Amino acid sequence: MILGAGIAGLSLARTLVSGGRPVRLLDKGKKPGGRCASRRLQDTVFDYGPMFLHGSDPELLKSLHGLGPTHLGWPARVAGQGAPCQPGSLERGETRLAPEGGVNVWAQHLADGLPMSLGTEVTHLGLEDDRITVFAGKEQWSARTVVVTAPAPQTRRLLGGLPGRAIAAADYLLGLAPLVPCLSVALLYPAEAPDPGWDLHYPNDTSVLTLLADERSKRPSGRARAIVLQASPRWSMAHLDEPVEVWTAALHEAARPLHPALTLVPLAQHAHRWRYARVHGGPGLNAPILQPLPNGALLGLAGEAFDPKGGLEGAYRSGLKLGRRLLAGPEGTS
């Protein structure tokens, strides 16, 4: 059983299914993908987590085939001297692409045909006989092997009720991968709104904003211009629990001098609080964890923090590695 249908959970499930093992994914979201997130607003798709897909791992690049129309090499126009969230994402040797349907089409592609229960929030775990019991409201499941792919703070809460030194060790390791938040707002403007001359802008002054994205060049002609603003980790932390209208207005004001369209009144907007946006300072661990528990069950941990690459590529690779490790042993998931 896999808890979390983000990229790590989907990669793990796809690997196990390809090897003939049964799986089930549980996720509290309405659709798979986690932070690999896209949304449609007034018939315009925009991304509000990662702005594009990138990587150099051959297995990852193979998984990106068949996503429909894509813009290879996006972003082609980059402005500003600020540091990207994934510093290596713009380096030579990295393949970059932006699907017209949004980055979430990759998650949908990985999820196709996998058994999953969405809208299912797991509250705690327990041990019974030689199995791990998973509780979600009035529902519960049990399996010999359970893999948790949620962000570290959520994973630590789930593991809190389990006994043993193995859990204490896992909790310690999860503490090495702290996550930072990100406040994000997408603003929709008419297609004819002014072009800023860039696709992505990393501001020199990162006290408020860490990223501006103009998604117009990702989408078919004639669609509205979506502009996405993402706040810096420090600013996001300071304003995380403010009313949404307060912090969205502050982000809009900070970004106004950097994009000519932001002087106009937007047609619509969508705001999102990413409480756990990314691992702070890069990944904390080099490999996913597979830990035997006192009752003989197996607990797995995977995700962005369990691979040196970090980001979506790290999440994908961690699921792939743990899946192959499970396939090589006598245990699978159920």
Q: With 80 as the cut, is the pLDDT of residue 90 above it?
A: yes
In the chain, CATH 3.50.50.60 covers 1-37+103-178+281-334
Q: What is the pLDDT of residue 331?
A: 52
The residue among 290 and 166 whose pLDDT is bigger is 290
Q: What is the pLDDT of residue 92?
A: 84
The mean pLDDT value for 64-71 works out to 93
Mean pLDDT score of the chain, rounded to an integer? 93
Render pLDDT for 42-62 as a digit per residue (tens, 0 to 9).
989 999 999 999 999 999 999
Q: What is the pLDDT of residue 89?
A: 86
Q: With 60 as the cut, is the pLDDT of residue 334 above it?
A: no
71, 97 contact by CB (below 8 A): yes
Q: What is the pLDDT of residue 302?
A: 96
Give the single-character DSSP code of 84: P
Tokens representing residue 98 in the block: 């932006």
Cβ neighbours of residue 14 closer than 8 Å, sequence gap 6 or more: 110, 114, 319, 323
Residues of the chain with pLDDT > 70, as a percent, come to 97
264, 193 contact by CB (below 8 A): yes
Q: What is the pLDDT of residue 284?
A: 66
Confidence of residue 249 (pLDDT cuts 50, 70, 90): very high
Confidence of residue 290 (pLDDT cuts 50, 70, 90): very high
316, 11 contact by CB (below 8 A): yes
The CATH number given to 1-37+103-178+281-334 is 3.50.50.60
Render pLDDT for 93-139 as a digit per residue (tens, 0 to 9).
899 999 999 999 999 999 999 999 999 999 999 999 999 999 998 99
Which pTM does this prediction carry?
A: 0.95
Confidence of residue 282 (pLDDT cuts 50, 70, 90): low
Task: State the CATH class of domain 38-102+179-279.
Answer: alpha beta
Cα–Cα distance measured from residue 239 to residue 50, given in angstroms and rounded to the nearest whole number = 21
Q: Is 15 exposed, middle or buried (0-12, 13-18, 19+ CB in 10 A)?
A: buried
In the chain, CATH 3.90.660.10 covers 38-102+179-279
